[in-house]
Amino acid sequence: MAKTWEGGLRGKLGQDINWNISLYDTRTENDIQFIFSSQSMGYFKNMGETDRKGIEIGLHGKADKLSFAANY
């Protein structure tokens, strides 16, 4: 089972540039992951609880005939 929350903001810088930012947190129970035991073999293991946190940032817009976007 996974429980996730996410929240974010977005806005404009001038007329032709947009930005966005969001934060997230996911907590799982009974997560199963693949463990490599050699270059061509592996097995699945129950990892119990895991916690994944992150941030997403983006910027996109137009300058004359050029469109651009950058996301991280």
Give pLDDT, residue 30: 83
- Amino acid identity for residue 57 in this structure: I
pLDDT digit string, tens, across residues 30-64: 888 888 888 889 999 888 888 999 999 999 999 88
Place of tokens 């490599």: 36
Q: What does pTM read for this prediction?
A: 0.65
- Amino acid identity for residue 35 in this structure: I
Question: CA 64: distance to chain centroid?
Answer: 31
